[in-house]
Amino acid sequence: MPGGWEAPAAAPDPQLASFLRHLRVERGLSPRTLVSYRSDLQAYLQKLAQASKGPLEATRDDITEYLWHKKSLGVQASSLARYIASLRAFYRFLVSEELIVKDPAALLQTPRKPERLPRYLSIEEVSRLITSTARTRDLKSLRLWAMLELLYAAGLRVSELTRLTLERIDLKVGYVRVLGKGGKERIVPIGERARLAVQAYLNRRPQTGASVKALFLSNRKNAMSAVQFWRLVRSAAVSAGIRQPVSPHVLRHSFASHLVQNGADLRAVQEMLGHASISTTQIYTHISQSHLQRAHKKYHPRA
């Protein structure tokens, strides 16, 4: 059947056929996932066959040699991690079926994936993006201006921004009470520019019934959705001449990156972002270091 699950009996090895059947029947994995498992493990079994071995006779050295062979072919760490996961699952199954006593894949270590630094805008790009929305004073422009200013001022997730209610923002004192992941609340200060932008929007915000408490309303006078806002941000970025893809989360990354680059305490940034662990926030120190390296290379006379 095109795109469907092919019978595991087609697998050349009986242990692999049993394993695939287990994944399909007992664990209910999708056809696409099953195809990935089969492809990974068939390649491994073919390598074993060259040494006249089957999976029940394989040792940890056999598995390690296979993985080193894959690595020598230029396989990326993410693919290598997937191969290891397939082998672990396969051999756990063989142990559970009492086909082998000792699991040769038990001590395999998953390679660390290269850390990807989050995308963020420069301070100039953020300024250009926000300024481009504040040029006109119609309601839609005021709303987008206020949302961008607040998003960048407080480093909010898009869901946190769109779920904000009127009573959760205090423009007089200058803070928002954010309901983050797991229902955890945090208080984040906002600057004068965000306060002015939100106030300008509130002055024109349509009147609604008491049941509608959302701060930012869609054109239908209900809460603005995350998808709607994402589209508005993307369009505004194109209009502002920003070449890289821009999403609301890019502005959250920009908020944190600019704070760290300018010397903000990492614990304070963690608290404002609502990260449960400081290790999540530490990614922005890497951004700061790469920023300094670029500046040194560009401006130092002997770099």
Instruction: Look up 143 and say whether it is catalytic.
Output: no
Q: Is 258 a catalytic residue?
A: no
Distance CA 93, CA 73 (A): 28
185-189 sheet: strands from edge to edge = 169-170, 175-179, 185-189
Residue-wise over 170-180: b if at least 16 C-beta within 10 A, else e? Answer: eeeeebbebbb
Q: Of these residues, 71, 275, 286, 291, which one is catalytic?
A: 275
Q: How far is CA 49 from the centre of its chain?
A: 40
Rounded distance between C-alpha atoms, residue 150 and residue 132, angstroms: 15
| C-alpha dihedral (34, 37, 42, 44), degrees to nearest 10 | -170
Cross-strand partners of 188? 176
Question: What are the structure tokens assigned to 276, written together?
Answer: 């449960």
- Rounded CA gap, 78 and 65, in Å? 18
Residue 284 is among the residues annotated as catalytic for this protein: yes
Tokens of 165: 């209610």
Query: Is 119 designated active site?
Result: no
Catalytic residue among 205, 252, 253, 258: 252
| Set 181, 204, 221, 231: catalytic member | 181
With beta carbons less than 8 A apart as the criterion, state whether 145 and 109 touch.
no
Q: Which one of the listed residues 92, 249, 286, 291 is annotated catalytic?
A: 249
Question: Tokens standing for 21?
Answer: 């059947």
* 291 catalytically annotated: no
Which residue among 24, 157, 195, 258 is the active-site one? 157
Whether 53 is catalytic: no
Catalytic: which of 37, 66, 201, 284? 284
Eight-state DSSP code of residue 118: P
Provide the annotated active-site residues.
Answer: 157, 181, 249, 252, 275, 284
